A and B are shown apart, each in its own frame.
Chain A
């Protein structure tokens, strides 16, 4: 069954990597928040009103089953999934934790390659998301924009000439646009430059945060940069600002990598090969340590030190070794200790497979 596929298939297209600047930019995402004019917003609406929103979307999808531009789209209701299946969709970044755990009549529309995900009855009636591998903000925006146009043919959006697209929370009003890039910045972290860079980025109206880990901690040296302001600036301006800042970060990271290799090559090599040794031999590994080691190995790949290992290993292993995925893979609930054992085994096997290929 196809639903099964979204859950059992580990890799969405974006995780397979590729795209411009793929050595540093993992993915680019565009999200548009939209609401319907005559329906109360999800947190206030009755269950029946929320069901009507799902029905409207279901009818649109049904009508355009063979939409060539978007490919086949599928609507999945949250109440048809168990909590583990929902968690897997969260770990694949296809839905939010809010939709998985709190929405009353939540659903999601997914494209076959999983680059499009439209959440229904999350904080807003609609959250259109397009996720592309590498540095492709413009491409992601073009796709999200055309999906938005296509949906608007059959839906009356809550829109006001003065305030723009009206949203549940005032932080999204206007464009409803959240553009973001996920970047891997190990050299900037190692050379302790992030503390200097983060406040500067914040001053430009952009937000930087770790996508794994709590608070300010960024596990695996993975950061997400996104726009904070949605009102008063056009989509093009918002995206361009983000792109320019991301470009500078990419540049700085490349320079830092180069400097590291020039000034302390042996120390960098030692760190990378130790991590590689641990990942390929460990029998028990916690997710926090795994994330850090995987980041080191990925840096080693990018620096050309580990020629046999595929560059997508970071994207893949990070998702595959999340608790939901491990349990889905095992076909049962696991205690934290069992997960650490399974995680170590899975990483060992994936790395061994890679070596066999060569």
Chain B
């Protein structure tokens, strides 16, 4: 399979010929580099999208963090090869590891996108983290209990209290 002529790492999935003033040039690019170069993909939605908005948010980031701006731009995820510049242009992460590599810079973005939230408070995969899951469930039930009491829903409150007791018992057995 033909490799991308820009990065030489990923397979080229976009093949096209550009003719400008009679000058003919052939291009073979992967999707990542094509987006990076701003090449318009036929059939792709090229209208103003979430990408543009997100990259707008990222570009507000102060360039003073750790070395010069150029250094940031060339920072690269050592697992999938995505550069910070590609990330900031697309607003897309390349793999799970990118979250660590671009971690510090990601937080302000998350804060803007999720109304100030940066820490996960939801589900935890079963196999990895049943203890953490229990802790979260306890916190949630306690919050519900508080509200039930405030709203004088005493039947619900009694049920929640029993559930919390059972969970706390489980917790102490860990």
Binding site for B on A (CB under 8 A): 35, 37-41, 43-44, 46-47, 101-102, 104, 145, 148-149, 152-153, 157-171, 173-175, 177, 205, 229-236, 238
Binding site for A on B (CB under 8 A): 1, 10-11, 13, 31-32, 43-44, 50, 54, 79-82, 90-96, 99, 106, 109-110, 113-129, 132, 136, 140
Give 5 pairs: A residue, B residue, CB < 8 Å, sorted on A: A44-B10, A104-B13, A153-B127, A174-B121, A238-B122
Cross-chain contact B95 with A40 (CB below 8 angstroms): yes
Cross-chain contact B54 with A171 (CB below 8 angstroms): yes
Interchain nearest-CB distance for A88 vs B (Å): 18
Interchain nearest-CB distance for A298 vs B (Å): 31
Interchain nearest-CB distance for A122 vs B (Å): 13
Cross-chain contact B93 with A168 (CB below 8 angstroms): yes
Given A39-B95, A177-B122, are A229 and B32 neighbors across the interface (CB < 8 Å)? no
Cross-chain contact A152 with B127 (CB below 8 angstroms): yes
Given A44-B80, A101-B43, are A234 and B31 neighbors across the interface (CB < 8 Å)? no
Complex Cα gap A333–B78 (Å): 48
Interchain nearest-CB distance for A66 vs B (Å): 22
Complex Cα gap A205–B115 (Å): 8
Complex Cα gap A160–B119 (Å): 10
Cross-chain contact A44 with B82 (CB below 8 angstroms): yes
Interchain nearest-CB distance for B140 vs A (Å): 6
Residues from chain A with Cβ under 8 Å of B123 in the complex: 145, 148, 164-165, 175, 234-235
Complex Cα gap A243–B96 (Å): 32
Interchain nearest-CB distance for B40 vs A (Å): 14
Complex Cα gap A206–B124 (Å): 24
The one of A153, A160, A233 in contact with B121, judged by C-beta atoms closer than 8 angstroms, is A233
Residues from chain B with Cβ under 8 Å of A46 in the complex: 10-11
The one of A38, A157, A162, A169 in contact with B120, judged by C-beta atoms closer than 8 angstroms, is A162
Complex Cα gap A47–B114 (Å): 32
* A151, closest chain B residue (CB): B125
Cross-chain contact B132 with A161 (CB below 8 angstroms): yes
Residues from chain A with Cβ under 8 Å of B121 in the complex: 174, 232-234
The one of B1, B50, B79, B120 in contact with A171, judged by C-beta atoms closer than 8 angstroms, is B50
Residues from chain A with Cβ under 8 Å of B93 in the complex: 41, 166-170
Cross-chain contact B54 with A235 (CB below 8 angstroms): no
* A231, closest chain B residue (CB): B114
Cross-chain contact A47 with B127 (CB below 8 angstroms): no
Cross-chain contact A174 with B82 (CB below 8 angstroms): no
The one of B43, B94, B96, B110 in contact with A231, judged by C-beta atoms closer than 8 angstroms, is B110
Given A44-B80, A159-B128, are A166 and B114 neighbors across the interface (CB < 8 Å)? no
Given A41-B93, A170-B109, are A163 and B120 neighbors across the interface (CB < 8 Å)? yes
Residues from chain A with Cβ under 8 Å of B90 in the complex: 43
Cross-chain contact A37 with B96 (CB below 8 angstroms): yes
Residues from chain B with Cβ under 8 Å of A238 in the complex: 122
